[in-house]
């Protein structure tokens, strides 16, 4: 699929315009009518922008029905058509800050220097919806369609809890417009259930919401647990007149509709730009997808004077976030083996710029996900990279699949020199290399030991570990502490001074606290939070390892699974020998930290268990858990009846969220984690 200007577009604009119109019409139908897009929004926007540029340069080739000039897609014949009393127009896009500033300058010129108030709203990535009430009763719910004619989906919309079926105190006729969306937590929950039952996974929350609304059976829509944000009114007959967009939102909210709390008023474009930049930074803090910020002139009189083009109002624009999904070629699928033997398939990609960096590899999670997504070497695939999240392959563009492409088959044996057999334990999604001597596992165990979340040995990264193991200087983490400056200096890229720095960093790590040593062992299921709880409870590494399972499981935040895993690990003779060697080499086993690595904090969470799931802005998972412990709390890895609060960020586990909801555990958004830490109280909405 061609997303930018193709070769020859400048020399033969007529042919390129025809090609773009054909492709855009097809993608418009896939997106708006079939809810089955093949390409990310960013690819579509690039094609639209190219078409509009070519049409403006060649006005004799412009056409009124060009995809660059139309809104949305045709209404489906599956549902009854609804003619909108007030057309549902599209918005022009600003693809970067410069384009946003240029729009602001046009607005200021059009209003001849008048004072302007702007409204900034999160651009929800959902499905636009028109709700028409007559005498307080919902009579019609319709999709945007082509802007003039939409689809009647009233029966399905009535299953959405956010949308009131009747209103008190409403004007005789009022049309409320907004966005129907699927919360990310619901999306992840539904996909987890689909994975367990072997059903096809939902592609993304936007498509899932649109597909849910177009079900013939409303009970299917009800099970999808959709939500709604109101963002403006359309037709209104009667009632008190309003003079600004903000007043209209207040009226809609007073009638019982949810209005997004992040809507902001700005008195200058400088403030608008600040809001947009902040929104980019915090887009993943929310439980719903946003792909930009909609900026509008607040005063309705000023809007009327500015008017509209044939497709979009001049008084509003959509500032689009940098793309986090792009298409590229899947060159191959390979398998990496981690420290516990977990075999993870990953995609080798033709490099593509997405999510702020160039991506050439992306995770495919496990063999089941490869099968469910049915991605094959040679496919054009959609790649997603959300901020700092590991890039992943979303799925293939089936229309671009090469003829004869064969399904990928998970290898039978590990690629390590031992060629050990891969095994998928019963009831597990992961496939594992079960040979402990596997050199791939050895390397990853050493890398994990030295990582920031464990022993934090500066300079001992992946490349250096590989050099050390290839030189046969390190066979396990115990050998790290017998390295000499002379040995390290022999490695490629090391001078005497850099070798001395590495050995000094290794020496410093001998005095790390006990929980870091426990974490560094890489015992399956044992993470930093449980390690901290165990170290505090038992006082030393050896006391934790030599305790029985029952005693370990009794520690808050540990439980039977982690306790048993530790016992099984320590029962292996090579692991007991490793513990002895580390202790003999001077690695401290009995340093138990005070709060937050020695820093004193008020014990706001004393005796309280706070579970963190998903990404917390500005903190790693380890640092977030440590922040809870520093304030006297515990940070277990699972939700239980004893949990005080669940902190939910981007990529949160659906099972934790579902369990918390069932148990009535308070849920704290990740962007309000600081409030919880500071006060120990659940932040109020």
Assign residue 615 the CATH number of its domain: 3.40.50.10190
Instruction: Give the distance from CA 301 to its chain's centroid.
Output: 39
> What is the end-to-end Cα distance of the chain in Å, rounded?
45
Domain assignment present for residue 405? The answer is yes
What was the pLDDT predicted at 260? 93
pLDDT at position 75 over 70: no
DSSP category for residue 393: E
pLDDT at position 194 over 70: yes
Kindly state whether residues 349 and 306 are assigned to the same domain: no
pLDDT-derived band of residue 181, with 50, 70 and 90 as boundaries?
A: very high
Tally the C-alpha atoms within 13 A of residue 350's C-alpha that lie toward its C-beta: 12
pLDDT at position 122 over 90: yes
Residues of 362-391 as b/e, b for ≥16 C-beta within 10 angstroms?
bbbbbbbbbebbebbebbbbbbbbbbeeeb
Kindly state whether residues 472 and 337 are assigned to the same domain: no
**Least confident segment among 270-284, 294-308, 412-426, 643-657:** 643-657
Last residue of a domain, one of 289, 320, 351: 320
Q: Where are the alpha helices (DSSP H) in 451-495?
A: 462-470, 485-489
What was the pLDDT predicted at 42? 66
- Tell me what the pLDDT averaged over the chain comes to: 84
What was the pLDDT predicted at 7? 43
What was the pLDDT predicted at 665? 86
Domain assignment present for residue 396? The answer is yes
What was the pLDDT predicted at 322? 76
- Sorted by sequence, the CB contacts under 8 Å of residue 173 that are 6+ apart come out as 132, 133, 134, 235, 236, 237, 238
pLDDT at position 655 over 60: yes
Last residue of a domain, one of 320, 335, 367: 320
- CA–CA dist 267, 557 (Å, integer): 49
DSSP category for residue 685: -
pLDDT at position 401 over 50: yes
- CA–CA dist 259, 91 (Å, integer): 20
pLDDT at position 476 over 90: yes
Kindly state whether residues 209 and 350 are assigned to the same domain: no
Average pLDDT, stretch 670-685? 80
| C-beta separation of 608 from 644 below 8 A | yes
**Least confident segment among 223-232, 305-314, 624-633:** 624-633
Domain assignment present for residue 604? The answer is no
CATH code, 50:
1.10.287.610
Domain assignment present for residue 598? The answer is no
- CA–CA dist 275, 279 (Å, integer): 6
Average pLDDT, stretch 296-311? 91
What was the pLDDT predicted at 35? 54
CATH code, 577:
1.10.150.20
pLDDT at position 604 over 50: yes
Q: Where are the alpha helices (DSSP H) in 244-325?
A: 245-254, 269-282, 300-306
What was the pLDDT predicted at 586? 95
Longest CA pairwise span in the chain (Å) = 87
Q: Across-strand partners of 317?
A: 295
What was the pLDDT predicted at 642? 83
Average pLDDT, stretch 628-633? 82
Kindly state whether residues 197 and 291 are assigned to the same domain: yes
pLDDT-derived band of residue 547, with 50, 70 and 90 as boundaries?
A: very high
Helix, strand, coil abundance in the chain, percent, nearest 5? 40, 20, 40
What was the pLDDT predicted at 307? 92
Helix or strand (DSSP H, E) at 646: strand 643-648
The DSSP annotation for 165-228 comes to: SB-SS--SEEEEEEEEE--HHHHHHHHHHHHHHTPPPP--HHHHHHHHHT-SSHHHHHHT--EE
pLDDT-derived band of residue 4, with 50, 70 and 90 as boundaries?
A: very low
CATH code, 359:
2.40.50.140
Domain assignment present for residue 122? The answer is yes
Backbone phi and psi for residue 51, each to the nearest 5 degrees, phi listed first: -60, -45
Average pLDDT, stretch 546-560? 88
With a pLDDT cut of 90, the percent of the chain lying above it is 41
Domain assignment present for residue 6? The answer is no
With a pLDDT cut of 70, the percent of the chain lying above it is 88
SS3 425: coil
- CA–CA dist 44, 4 (Å, integer): 10
What was the pLDDT predicted at 666? 86
Kindly state whether residues 624 and 572 are assigned to the same domain: no
**Active site residue ranges:** 123
- Can you say whether the dihedral through the CA atoms of 431, 435, 436, 441 is positive or negative? negative
**Least confident segment among 444-453, 510-519, 530-539, 614-623:** 614-623
What was the pLDDT predicted at 505? 95
Strand pairing of 316-320 and 342-354?
unpaired
Kindly state whether residues 444 and 563 are assigned to the same domain: yes
What was the pLDDT predicted at 671? 76
Give the pTM.
Answer: 0.49
The DSSP annotation for 53-92 comes to: HHHHH-GGG--TT-TTT--S-PPPTTS-EEE-SS------
What was the pLDDT predicted at 685? 60
Angle at 5 between CA 21 and CA 352, to 5 degrees: 115
What was the pLDDT predicted at 31? 61
pLDDT at position 347 over 70: yes
Alpha carbon separation from 112 to 302, 305, 306, 317 (Å, rounded): 11, 11, 11, 19
Average pLDDT, stretch 281-286? 80
Domain assignment present for residue 434? The answer is no
Kindly state whether residues 569 and 664 are assigned to the same domain: no
Kindly state whether residues 236 and 104 are assigned to the same domain: yes
pLDDT-derived band of residue 3, with 50, 70 and 90 as boundaries?
A: very low
Sheet holding 609-613, edge to edge: 609-613, 643-648, 667-669
pLDDT at position 429 over 70: no
Kindly state whether residues 169 and 234 are assigned to the same domain: yes
- CA–CA dist 569, 518 (Å, integer): 12
The DSSP annotation for 605-632 comes to: TTT-EEEEESBBTTB-HHHHHHHHHHTT
Domain assignment present for residue 147? The answer is yes
225: alpha, beta or left? (left if phi > 0; alpha if psi -120 to 50): left
Alpha carbon separation from 648 to 265, 525, 558, 668, 677 (Å, rounded): 27, 20, 20, 6, 14
Backbone phi and psi for residue 492, each to the nearest 5 degrees, phi listed first: -60, 135
pLDDT-derived band of residue 631, with 50, 70 and 90 as boundaries?
A: confident
What was the pLDDT predicted at 386? 60
| C-beta separation of 118 from 272 below 8 A | yes
- CA–CA dist 328, 500 (Å, integer): 44
pLDDT digits (tens, 9 = 90+) for 348-399: 999 988 876 788 998 887 777 788 889 999 999 989 876 545 788 888 988 8
Name the residue with higher pLDDT: 45 or 275.
Answer: 275
Name the residue with higher pLDDT: 507 or 326.
Answer: 507
Helix or strand (DSSP H, E) at 659: helix 654-663
Tally of structural domains, the chain: 5
SS3 470: helix
pLDDT at position 69 over 90: no
- CA–CA dist 389, 394 (Å, integer): 14
Backbone phi and psi for residue 545, each to the nearest 5 degrees, phi listed first: -70, -35
Helix or strand (DSSP H, E) at 45: helix 41-57
Kindly state whether residues 461 and 338 are assigned to the same domain: no
What was the pLDDT predicted at 378? 94
pLDDT at position 1 over 60: no
What was the pLDDT predicted at 566? 96
pLDDT digits (tens, 9 = 90+) for 556-601: 778 888 899 999 999 999 999 999 999 999 999 999 864 433 445 6
Q: If we measure between CA atoms, which residue out of 128, 133, 126, 163 comes closest to residue 145? A: 128
What was the pLDDT predicted at 508? 95
CATH code, 258:
3.30.470.30
Last residue of a domain, one of 296, 320, 344: 320
| C-beta separation of 322 from 284 below 8 A | no
- CA–CA dist 384, 506 (Å, integer): 37
Number of H helices, E strands in the chain: 24, 21
Kindly state whether residues 308 and 338 are assigned to the same domain: no
Kindly state whether residues 167 and 133 are assigned to the same domain: yes
pLDDT at position 6 over 70: no
Residue 48 domain boundaries:
13-61
């Amino acid at each position: 699929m061609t997303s930018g200007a193709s070769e020859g577009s400048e020399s033969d604009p007529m042919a390129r315009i025809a090609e773009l119109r054909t492709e855009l019409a097809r993608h418009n139908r896939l997106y708006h009518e079939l809810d089955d897009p093949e390409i990310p929004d960013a690819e579509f926007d690039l094609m639209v922008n190219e078409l509009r540029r070519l049409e403006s340069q060649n006005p004799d080739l412009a056409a009124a029905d060009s995809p660059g000039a139309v809104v949305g897609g045709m209404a489906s014949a599956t549902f009854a058509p609804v003619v909108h009393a007030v057309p549902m127009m599209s918005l022009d896009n600003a693809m970067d800050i410069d384009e946003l500033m240029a729009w602001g300058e046009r607005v200021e010129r059009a209003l001849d220097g008048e004072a302007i108030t702007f409204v900034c709203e999160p651009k929800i990535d959902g499905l636009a919806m028109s709700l028409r009430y007559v005498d307080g009763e919902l009579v019609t719910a319709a999709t945007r369609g082509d802007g003039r004619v939409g689809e009647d989906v009233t029966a399905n919309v009535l299953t959405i809890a956010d949308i009131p079926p009747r209103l008190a105190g409403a004007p005789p006729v009022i049309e409320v417009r907004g966005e129907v969306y699927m919360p990310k937590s619901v999306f992840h929950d539904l996909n987890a259930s689909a994975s367990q039952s072997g059903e096809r996974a939902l592609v993304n929350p936007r498509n899932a919401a649109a597909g849910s609304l177009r079900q013939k059976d409303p009970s299917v829509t009800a099970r999808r647990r959709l939500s709604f944000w109101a963002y403006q009114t359309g037709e209104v007959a009667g009632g008190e007149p309003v003079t600004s967009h903000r007043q209209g939102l207040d009226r809609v909210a007073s009638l019982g509709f949810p209005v997004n709390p992040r809507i902001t008023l700005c008195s200058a474009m400088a403030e608008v730009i600040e809001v947009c930049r902040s929104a980019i930074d915090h887009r993943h803090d929310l439980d719903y997808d946003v792909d930009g910020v909609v900026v509008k002139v607040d005063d309705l009189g000023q809007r009327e004077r500015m008017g509209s083009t044939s497709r979009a109002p001049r008084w509003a624009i959509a500032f689009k976030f940098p793309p986090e999904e792009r298409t590229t070629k899947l060159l191959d699928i390979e398998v990496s083996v981690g420290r516990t033997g977990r075999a993870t398939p990953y995609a080798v990609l033709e490099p593509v710029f997405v999510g702020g960096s160039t991506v050439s590899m992306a995770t495919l999670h496990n063999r089941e996900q490869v099968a469910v997504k049915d991605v094959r070497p040679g496919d054009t695939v959609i790649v997603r990279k959300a901020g700092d999240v590991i890039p992943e392959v979303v799925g293939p563009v089936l229309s671009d699949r090469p003829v004869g492409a064969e399904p990928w088959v998970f290898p039978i044996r590990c690629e390590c020199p031992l060629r050990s057999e891969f095994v998928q334990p019963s009831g597990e999604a992961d496939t594992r290399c079960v040979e402990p001597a596997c050199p791939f596992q050895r390397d990853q165990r050493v890398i994990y030991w030295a990582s920031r979340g464990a022993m934090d040995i500066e300079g001992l990264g992946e490349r250096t570990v590989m050099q050390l193991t290839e030189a046969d200087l390190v066979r396990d983490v115990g050998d790290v502490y017998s390295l000499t400056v002379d040995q390290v200096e022999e490695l490629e890229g090391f001078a005497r001074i850099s070798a001395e720095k590495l050995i000094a960093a290794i020496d410093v790590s001998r005095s790390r606290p006990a929980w870091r040593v426990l974490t560094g062992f890489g015992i399956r299921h044992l993470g930093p939070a449980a390690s901290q709880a165990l170290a505090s409870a038992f006082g030393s590494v050896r006391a934790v390892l030599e305790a029985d399972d029952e005693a370990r499981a009794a520690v808050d935040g540990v439980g039977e699974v982690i306790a048993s895993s530790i016992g099984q690990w320590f029962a292996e003779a090579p692991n007991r020998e490793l513990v002895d060697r580390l202790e003999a080499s001077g690695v401290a086993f009995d340093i138990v930290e005070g709060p937050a690595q020695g820093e004193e904090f008020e014990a706001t969470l004393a005796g309280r268990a706070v579970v963190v799931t998903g990404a917390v802005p500005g903190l790693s998972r380890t640092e977030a858990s440590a922040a809870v412990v520093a304030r006297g709390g515990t940070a277990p890895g699972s939700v239980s009846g004893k949990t005080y609060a669940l902190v939910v960020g981007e990529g949160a586990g659906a099972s934790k969220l579902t369990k918390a909801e069932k148990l009535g555990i308070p849920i704290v958004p990740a962007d309000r984690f600081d409030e919880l830490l500071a006060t120990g109280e659940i932040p109020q909405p």
